[in-house]
Amino acid sequence: MAYEFRLPDIGEGLTEAEIVRWLIAVGHEVKVDQPVVEVETDKAVVEIPSPRSGTVLHHGASGGETLAVGEILVVIGDAGEVWPPTAEQAESPPSAPPIVGTISEAAEELTPRLHKTQEALTRVQALPLVRKLAAEMGVDLNRLSGTGPGGRISREDVLAAADPAATVPEPTTINLPPVSLSVEGERRPLSRLRRTIAANMSRSWTEIPHVTTFDEVDASRLLAARRALESRHQVKLPIEALMIKAVLPALRAFPEFNASLDGDDLVVKGRYDIGVAVDTPEGLMVAVVAEADRQSLLEVAADVQRLANGAKERTLEVSELTGQGFTISNIGALGGGFGTPIVPPGTTAILSVGRANERPVAVGGKVEIVPVMPLSLSYDHRVIDGGLGRRFMAMVIENLAEPALFLA
């Protein structure tokens, strides 16, 4: 009996995912727990394993198309079986219940019934985004014949049926000003990751009253300690690892910086999960070093390196890309100095670190050439006032100027 495996929620309230590529073609055999499809969510590209063995009878969508959670992702049955089933097959219940999937049982329909099959044949098949587009363009979906998988009405079907004079809404919820294109210009749709970044930035900038404070620190001893540790342990020590260890004492002393605002309540985090901004070819991502306070400096360094590589390769789990309490952004890696970092949604602060450049500085009444590191701290002014922001920054600066304070 054919088994309809529906797209499960694979992390933190997922509502939809885009098919990147199918790993098992229709008509080919698949084993239980063998990866069958690669999908892209708002945060990551993940492989979804097959919940049972058999022959792939149907793909719920093609590469580049989007499926909503709960919609049919793949149908698996026996060799030679036909899907969708004939009326005779639908009337004959299976002799045994199908194998339960291994990802999200609540998102799967385990036993197809005749009334559901009939409903599927008469109900308009269209994704929520396509329904929204049709409503905006005044298109009656009941009058359309879908050209998508399983007869689903696609965005192209709606556009083809719309009044040619109608304005086509952009496939994103971000309201951008109209763009005047020259004959050499082009219109590029945002990738799923870029749409997610844009939505998060818009939400943060709209909801959070930002304040950014700037300062500098003599990084001589910090950089010397980094070189000594790299030489002794023969490892690469990312500056982010040292920054994480330097901010931990300040986060303990000022818990408002490791918190989130929920209505009229400040929710102080019970763990020190530190986000690290990673510049990837597809856009900025924040990977999370979990329980950084429980790891040694070398363990944090290895974790930062692993997470950075995973973010660039899009192989991290959703849990490794969400849930940070405080974020560090090393814009110095790209040659940056001061910045105005945007506080990630669900947090209260972010620290941006610039490149340390040598400058003449007055030290003990004498002018010395020292590496000066720019620091930019943005925070949620609803939670953190200027005085608290300066005290937090002062402790971080003290720690960076004398690494023994946080390495001990």
CATH code of the domain in which 153 resides: 4.10.320.10
CATH of the domain at 77: 2.40.50.100
CATH of the domain at 346: 3.30.559.10
Whether 270 and 355 share a structural domain: yes
Whether 306 and 252 share a structural domain: yes
With respect to residue 185, please indicate whether it lies within any of the assigned structural domains.
no
With respect to residue 171, please indicate whether it lies within any of the assigned structural domains.
no
Domain finish residue from 98, 122, 146: 122
CA distance 368 to 349: 33
- pTM for the model stands at 0.63
With respect to residue 350, please indicate whether it lies within any of the assigned structural domains.
yes
With respect to residue 169, please indicate whether it lies within any of the assigned structural domains.
no
CA distance 389 to 11: 34
Whether 41 and 143 share a structural domain: no
Whether 201 and 338 share a structural domain: yes
Residues assigned a catalytic role:
381
Distances (CA, A) of 101 to 32, 334, 362: 9, 44, 67
Residue 103: per-residue pLDDT: 33
Residue 394: per-residue pLDDT: 96
Distances (CA, A) of 78 to 29, 57, 60, 68, 133: 9, 8, 18, 26, 38
Whether 113 and 153 share a structural domain: no
What is the three-class DSSP state of 371? strand
Give residue 164's Cα distance to chain centre.
36
Whether 251 and 293 share a structural domain: yes
Residue 87: per-residue pLDDT: 55
**Total structural domains in the chain?**
3
With respect to residue 187, please indicate whether it lies within any of the assigned structural domains.
no
Domain finish residue from 58, 92, 122: 122
Locate 305 and state its tokens. 């390196």
Residue 391: per-residue pLDDT: 97
257-298 pLDDT tens trace:
999 999 899 999 999 999 999 998 888 889 999 999 999 999
Whether 79 and 135 share a structural domain: no
- The answer to whether 384 and 257 have CB atoms below 8 angstroms apart is yes
With respect to residue 364, please indicate whether it lies within any of the assigned structural domains.
yes
- The answer to whether 103 and 9 have CB atoms below 8 angstroms apart is no
Whether 18 and 37 share a structural domain: yes
10-residue block means of pLDDT along the chain (408 residues)? 86 77 91 89 82 91 88 90 67 43 35 38 56 78 75 77 59 50 74 84 90 95 95 94 96 96 93 94 90 95 94 88 93 88 94 93 88 96 95 96 91
Residue 118: per-residue pLDDT: 39
Domain finish residue from 122, 147, 174: 122
Whether 281 and 377 share a structural domain: yes
With respect to residue 248, please indicate whether it lies within any of the assigned structural domains.
yes
Domain containing residue 147: 128-161
Would residue 13 be called left, alpha or beta, if left means φ above 0 and alpha means ψ between -120 and 50 degrees? left
Whether 230 and 342 share a structural domain: yes
Whether 136 and 109 share a structural domain: no
Whether 88 and 203 share a structural domain: no
With respect to residue 170, please indicate whether it lies within any of the assigned structural domains.
no
Residue 173: per-residue pLDDT: 45
